[in-house]
Each structure stands twice: as C-alpha cells, then as structure tokens.
Amino acid sequence: MKEIRNFIDGAFVATGKTFEKRSPVDGQVIALVHEAGQAEVDAAVQAARAALKGPWGKLTVAERAELLYAVADGINRRFDEFLAAECADTGKPMSLARHIDIPRGAANFKVFADVVKNVPTEFFETPTPDGKGALNYAVRRPIGVVGVICPWNLPLLLMTWKVGPALACGNTVVVKPSEETPQTATLLGEVMNEVGVPKGVYNVVHGFGPQSAGEYVTTHPGVNAITFTGETRTGEVIMKAAAHGARPVSLEMGGKNPGIIFADCDFEAALEGTMRSVFANCGQVCLGTERLYVERPIFERFVEALKKSAENLKLGRPEDPETNLGPLISHEHRRKVLSYYEKAKALGATVVTGGGIPDMPPELAGGSWIQPTIWTGLGDDSPIAREEIFGPCTLIQPFDDEDEVIARANDIDYGLACSIWTKDLSRAHRVAGQIEAGLVWVNSWFLRDLRTPFGGMKQSGIGREGGVHSLEFYTELKNICVKL
Ligand code: NAD
C-alpha cells in the first residue's frame, strides 16, 4: 500500500498515525496518509523559520526566480506522475487535469517569478523647509512563514497559486493540503529537493482541520500569515485563529455564482460555456454556475439544449479519453449534494434531468458518482438558489429585464464570480459594472490571466491575489525616507 508522508525540512516524515485515502472512482483505499500532530507541525514551522535565515533568505530576486523556473520545469518533467496522482486523489478526468490542473501548477511558479522580477515599487521626492528635500522609496520584504491551507477540488493548481507567489516573494511555507488530496503536494516536495530549493522552504503537513494539522498550523504563533482556500465557514474559523497575534489572512471562499444569458447571446457559445461552468470538475469549482438566469424568449430552448448536452456527458474512469464527468470527491460530499437533490424535489422543483445516483458498472459502484442535474421551477428564495451545493447541478430561472436580473443576481451573501452572455457590448459593460462579484466574465467562463486580481466580495473572500496583488499579501511594503 502506498504511504504518503509529511515533508518537513527537506525530508519525508512518517508519524505512525495514518488515515486512509480512498479513490472517489471505486471507493478502494489507495494510500495511507501519515497525519501530522502538534509535534510535526512545530517541526515544520521551526524548519520554515530557520530557512528564512538560511541560504534561501540570502538569494537575490533573480536567483530565487531561477529556482522557481526550475520548480516549474521539474513539475513538467514529471508531468505524468503529477497527472496520475491528481487524478487518483480526485477521480477527475485526465483530459481535464492534463490541460488545466498540472500545467497551471507549473505556470504558477513561472508567472510569479516574473512578477517579482518586473514589478517596481514607488518613489517620491519630498520637499523640506531647508530646501534640501528628502527621498522616499519603498522596498518589499517577505512576511515570513506563510501557512497555506488548501481545498481538494483543484489541489495542485490552488496550492501552487499560493505557494508560487509566497516563495517568489522570499517567504517560506507550511502547506496543509486537504485530507482528501494529499498526493501532489507531497510529490512537489520531491521536486523541491531535486531542483535544489533549500530545505525548510517548502513543508507539507497532512491531516484534517479541527484538532489536527489544519488547526495546528493556523494557530501556530510561528506562522506570520495565513492564506486559505475553502468553505466560508472554515474561513471564519481561520480568521478567528489569525486574530491571535493580529496576523494577516487571505481568504478565498465559497460562491453561488450566477450566469446571465440574454436572448441576443451567441447561443452555441453560451451553451458551451455554461456546460463547462456547471459541470466541469463535476461541478466542484468555486467559480461554477449554480444559478442560471435566462432571458424569457430563449428560456425553453436553452433549458432543452442544456438538458441534451448534460445527458450526453460521459461518466467514467479518469484515464478513459471519452470521460468528461468524474465522480464527486467522496461519499461524505455526495451525501451533502444528494441532500440538496432531495430538498429540490421536496420543494417542488421540476427535475429537468438527473437528480440521483447513476447506474454504474459493478467495478465502479463503490465510487461517489452522481448524476448531472438541472432544475427549474424554484425561486430565488429557495435554498437551492442560495446555498453552495458544490456539485454538477444548476437551477435555471427565466428573467424579463436587465435591472431585474442584476438585482436578483446580487441578492445573495456570496460574491465570487458571474458570467454574462450577450452580443450587446454596451449592455455587457453596464451589467458587468453593477454585478457584486470579484470576477465577471463576459461571453466566457474561467478565462484566466494570472496577472489579474482574483478573489471574492461579500462572504466569498477577503483580499485579492494574482499578479501584483499577490505581492500585497506576501510581502511587507516598507517605506525608507532619506533626508538629503
Ligand atoms: P474546507 O473548508 O472543508 O477545507 C479546506 C481546508 O481547510 C482543508 O485543508 C481542511 O482540512 C482545512 N480545515 C478545515 N477546518 C479547519 C480548521 N478548523 N482549521 C484549519 N483548517 C481547517 O473546503 P473544501 O471542502 O476542501 O473545498 C471546497 C470549498 O472551497 C467550497 O466552498 C469552494 O467554493 C471553496 N473554494 C473556493 C475557491 C476560491 O478561490 N474562492 C477555490 C476553490 C474552492
């Protein structure tokens, strides 16, 4: 049986206390994961603190950037291993992870190495009464040890989205991957050693949240800042933990994202984009569309077309090139998603398609499979329209007017993302400007440029990362004033 160890101070550390990692595809145990206790988290934080003062802390920006390029190349060299590990943990189709998860995992190191090399700081000449003046310039310094708490939906991509900029800025990290997806973070430890990242710079501790590695990392006084991606309720707990010692947090949390489809859209493009935004990664994408508003003249046609496409999705093993829908991450998560499927029925929704567990061949019956599901017939006040389900499902409602749909899209506690589909450019800008979300796509979805700000409004997050915005979180900006 494969064993997944913690990665502390450049070494793989067993703890003797293990938990099982099961495959979402067939329910079989695929690995035993060594859970870190307080002692291992202490060791990881200590190693990370020591590394700040070691060779890592003395590298120039250019030297650090070179090492991060080497990390990216190291991931690409072992691309197939990362791909296999990610798909084993998540059950997601290889066709998806090959194009998104693993390449983005590598790109996150390259992009932020470039950002730190190229982004200037500010400079001001200040007049003084003696006429000689003063010069002000700002320098960026690492914030220290960063605790990185990760979710399971895009494990390598979202973890490196934090680790890339954190290391580019000269920090060291203690990463706590999700208990559901321990493998790629651990494999990255091997790459770090291979390319010569000094020991203690990148550490990984495995375990759960409360009274386990997650809590130990976020409450550790040796951790200077915490960056988190996950559920809003967990983010609230982490924010409280970070209050001790007044430590900064960056929180990327849940969403209940609207898609707005106007009658004048490019129908096929809107259909294709919406199919991805609802069903990609089995609906387990924070940016996914669980609320769709379709302008009334095309409502019936759109519902019918989406139903047809959803019913053509092929569930199957990750390695099957035909597969475009994997399972949910776990049985526990499936219980949650199914509870919403039941609730929708009980509330009187029209189940356009899906609504339950699919029939799978016997060898896959132990997996956490679920049917792609579309509902109509419920209003904005139903829990189906208001609560994040995080599954391959969406509620479609008609709308009649632009102001009405903006108000309905905004009437929610979340504010992460929105997709707007229309050929009317003025309307696109007008609506986009009024939507309460950190990310708005017009005629696309999940089209990402890593230099742009990323994050959520309202209960979807605090802070922005991406490009120069990541530097705001991962560095202390210091002003130096020189009197001439
Ligand atoms: P989760 O909140 O359950 O877990 C995330 C991480 O937090 C895990 O590593 C978990 O072990 C850890 N954790 C749990 N309790 C903790 C505690 N008390 N202290 C410290 N750590 C703790 O989230 P998840 O189920 O893994 O991921 C799905 C969620 O993530 C969804 O809500 C989704 O919207 C959100 N998400 C948001 C973004 C974004 O960019 N905004 C991206 C991806 C996922």
ipTM, 2 decimals? 0.96
Tell me which residues of the chain have a pLDDT lower than 50.
none
Q: Of 229, 236, 414, which is best to mutate to test ligand 1, by the most ligand atoms within 8 angstroms of its C-beta?
A: 229
> CATH assignment of 3-253+460-483, given 3.30.1360.70, 3.30.1300.10, 1.10.10.10, 3.40.605.10?
3.40.605.10
pLDDT in tens, 74-122: 999 999 999 999 999 999 999 999 999 999 999 999 999 999 999 999 9
Res 16: pLDDT: 87
What are 98's two structure tokens? 């090959």
Domain topology for 257-450: Aldehyde Dehydrogenase; Chain A, domain 2 (3.40.309)
Rounded to the nearest whole angstrom, what is the distance from the C-alpha of residue 231 to the centroid of ligand 1?
Answer: 4
- Kindly list the protein residues whose Cβ atom lies closer than 6 A to any atom of ligand 1: 149-153, 158, 176, 178-179, 208-210, 214-215, 218, 229-231, 234, 237-238, 252-255, 286, 388, 390, 416, 456, 460-461
Ligand 1 atom nearest to CA at 217: 20
Please list the residue range(s) of the chain that carry CATH number 3.40.309.10: 257-450
Rounded distance between C-alpha atoms, residue 256 and residue 414, angstroms: 6
Residues of the chain with CATH 3.40.605.10: 3-253+460-483
Which atom of ligand 1 lies closest to the CA of 208?
Answer: 11
- Which residues are the active-site residues? 252
pTM summary value: 0.97
Tokens of 310: 């959803």
Packing angle of the helix pair 101-118, 467-474 (nearest 10 deg): 70
Mutation pick for ligand 1 pocket among 286, 337, 413 (CB with most ligand atoms within 8 Å) = 286
The tens digit of pLDDT for each residue in 344-389 reads 999 999 999 999 999 999 999 999 999 999 999 999 999 999 999 9
